[in-house]
Structure 1
Amino acid sequence: MIITDATAWPLPTSLPKNLGEAAATYAAAGIPVFPCVPGQKRPLTTHGFRDATTDPAQIAAWWGRHPEANIGIPTGTVIGVLDVDVHATGTGYPILRTLRREGLIDGWGQAVRSPSGGLHLYYPADSDVARVSWSRSRAHVDFRGTGGYIIAPPSTITTDRGNLRYETIAHGRNPRPVDADAIRELLTPQPERTHHPAKPAVLRERPVEQLAAWVAALPEGNRNAGLFWAACRLAEAGLPVPDTFALLEPAAIDAGLEPQEITATIRSAHRTTRAVDVPDDRGLPLVRGHADSSICWGS
């Protein structure tokens, strides 16, 4: 399924601030919803996302009993969502820039900023191919497809800094399904070619040489993510930035990467690995325009 007309994109472009009214608006657009605990992500219904419906009477009853309930939307049927996380231990924005350079995230229909400062990119679900949910915690990137759900705007999450809202920050043009399997493959180093240092802070000559050889042999489409992964491993092992450059830059050049890309990727890996406290507004997407906006991720 390819949506070529932006008007066919099912998600509403504007929502009431009232949660019950917003839930009804989603349902009127053909998007099933279900209630979640106010300020949380936990479902209020017995079967969770499997109870989602577009029935106006059921939705009115749910939000009549729980007017502050958050809005859950099951994924995999109408929409799929790429979830870029921001945690105290790291952020998915460096990998997101890599995915963008590789042309793997084009075609989103809606961009939502999460309460943590992360990003949800909404795509139409592919009616021909079932995309299952998956997680790549080291990359801080998840995909919500079949068997998953997301909390949708204007829901809020209760934090020690108060209630923080999910906020739609941009609408795309010509939404189309995302190849989540290709993204998962890129974020998954091939086992037969992956060499981990034996322990954090312990480097031996042979594993480092093998890691550099693995980077040098990375195929087009996996080069940036592979270099990022390798640089993260060296950073975790305590190797300083100059030594990481000395080990990986020649290998990355052999793989076909440009020096500017290599520098940005290695520095991003060290920043991500060493992050201990990432403010919620750090690395947030900058948005130009509205319906035809594009997203630029700064460093």
Structure 2
Amino acid sequence: MVFPDVFARALTRASGPQSLPAAAEELARVGVPVFPCIPGGKRPLTEHGFHDATTDADRVAAWWTRSPGANIGVPTGAPSGMVVVDVDVHGPVDGFRGFSRAHRADLLDGWQLLVSTPSGGMHAYYRSTPGQVQRSWQAARAGIDFRGDGGYIVVPPSRMSIAGNVVGYRARRVEAGTSSVLDSDRLRDFLDPRPTVREPMNTAQRQGADVSRLARWVAGRAEGERNRSLFWAACRLAENGLPTSDALDVLGAAASDAGLGEQEIIATIRSAYRAAHPDRDASASSVQASAPPEAGTWFVRDPAASGPSNTRVL
């Protein structure tokens, strides 16, 4: 794992007139594991993607000799010691608004490096939390993704073709001194709040409870969030004793409205019930493949939770 300041300085130098092969070799030399992505794109060229990332000089040189225009990928999380808040700008979704809100809430202090992306967004680099797994996640409605363990990022001087123009990733600001770790779980909860937590319900209370808010929350999830949200909601129903078939009645229509297919809904609910009750055989609860009726009347709780400038011009 490379020190954050060494990582930041290497990416800053790479934003200059360096060629892609030279930048890849320098990053590897200072301890940043790299792997090649398709020229002008983000898809890995290696068989196992970011899992093939290495600091081996000979291997890196061989990759960029074969494909000198390859963009440079770096795995995030433990392999590199850095995690990244990815601010996206896509049509009406402006991730800078969410970033500014989170920054005002003191959730984004301590970044080491800011990089401008070809699409007009931004990557904010932070030191990963030692000894703690920080999973990648998406908050699509806020226009922010988190790149941690299990993810990767494309780094300077990689280039993309945007509306016919070739635009590069470019380091814009480096923070002097020691960077802070990022509480990625708090950031996700702030950007993508879950339904209000309630106390456990007994059977009589559950029959009269209102799940309309839970169903609306699932129905309103955007692409990239839908499956995880359905899984979370189904776990809450499982923990409160509803049969699997009732969970489909409650959440099936909402998940379908969100854009999930019927088979994916069934598979996700079954998976949630297995996770909530690992000592039971969830398949014993029959889940019918017919179209689910309108959501029913159960609402349950989640028992346990598992700076820069605010403007775009840096």
Does the TM-score normalized on the shorter chain lie above 0.5?
yes
Establish whether residue 297 from structure 1 lines up as the match of residue 297 from structure 2. no
Establish whether residue 149 from structure 1 lines up as the match of residue 163 from structure 2. no
CA distance in 2, matches of 1:38, 1:199: 38
* 1:109 matched residue in structure 2: 112
Query: Which of 167, 171, 192 is equivalent to 1:168?
Result: 171
* 2:86 matched residue in structure 1: 83
State the Cα deviation string for residues 68-103 of structure 1 (Å, max 9, x = none): 000000001221000010001311111111111111
Is the contact made by 1:9 and 1:109 (CA closer than 8 Å) also made in structure 2? no
How far off its partner does 1:7 sit?
A: 4.8
State the Cα deviation string for residues 162-202 of structure 1 (Å, max 9, x = none): 211111110013212211111001122232375759999xx
The count of residues paired between Structure 1 and Structure 2 equals: 204
Aligned-residue RMSD, C-alpha: 2.6
Counterpart of 1:67 in 2: which secondary structure?
Answer: coil
Closer, same or farther: CA 7–74 of 1 in aligned 2, 3 Å: closer
Counterpart of 2:309 in 1: which secondary structure?
Answer: strand
CA distance in 1, matches of 2:219, 2:75: 40
Unaligned runs of 5+ in 1: 201-292
Code of the residue aligned with 1:68 in structure 2: it is G
Establish whether residue 52 from structure 1 lines up as the match of residue 53 from structure 2. yes
* 1:135 matched residue in structure 2: 138
Instruction: Report the TM-score, using the length of structure 1 for normalisation.
Output: 0.63
Counterpart of 1:169 in 2: which secondary structure?
Answer: strand
CA distance in 1, matches of 2:43, 2:312: 33
* 1:66 matched residue in structure 2: 67
How far off its partner does 1:130 sit?
A: 1.1
How far off its partner does 1:126 sit?
A: 1.4
Closer, same or farther: CA 192–117 of 1 in aligned 2, 3 Å: same
Counterpart of 1:22 in 2: which secondary structure?
Answer: helix
Code of the residue aligned with 1:134 in structure 2: it is W
CA distance in 1, matches of 2:309, 2:115: 12
Is the contact made by 1:11 and 1:26 (CA closer than 8 Å) also made in structure 2? no
Code of the residue aligned with 1:64 in structure 2: it is T
Code of the residue aligned with 1:79 in structure 2: it is M
How far off its partner does 1:9 sit?
A: 5.4
* 2:121 matched residue in structure 1: 118
Moved more, 7-16 or 115-124: 7-16
* 2:38 matched residue in structure 1: 37
* 1:14 matched residue in structure 2: 13
Counterpart of 2:142 in 1: which secondary structure?
Answer: coil
How far off its partner does 1:11 sit?
A: 4.8
Counterpart of 1:17 in 2: which secondary structure?
Answer: coil
Identity of aligned residues (%): 41
Structure number with the bigger relative contact order (C-alpha 8 A, sep ≥ 6) is 1
Is the contact made by 1:104 and 1:178 (CA closer than 8 Å) also made in structure 2? yes
State the Cα deviation string for residues 110-133 of structure 1 (Å, max 9, x = none): 100111100100111111211000
Is the contact made by 2:7 and 2:32 (CA closer than 8 Å) also made in structure 1? no
Code of the residue aligned with 2:168 in structure 1: it is R
* 2:259 matched residue in structure 1: none
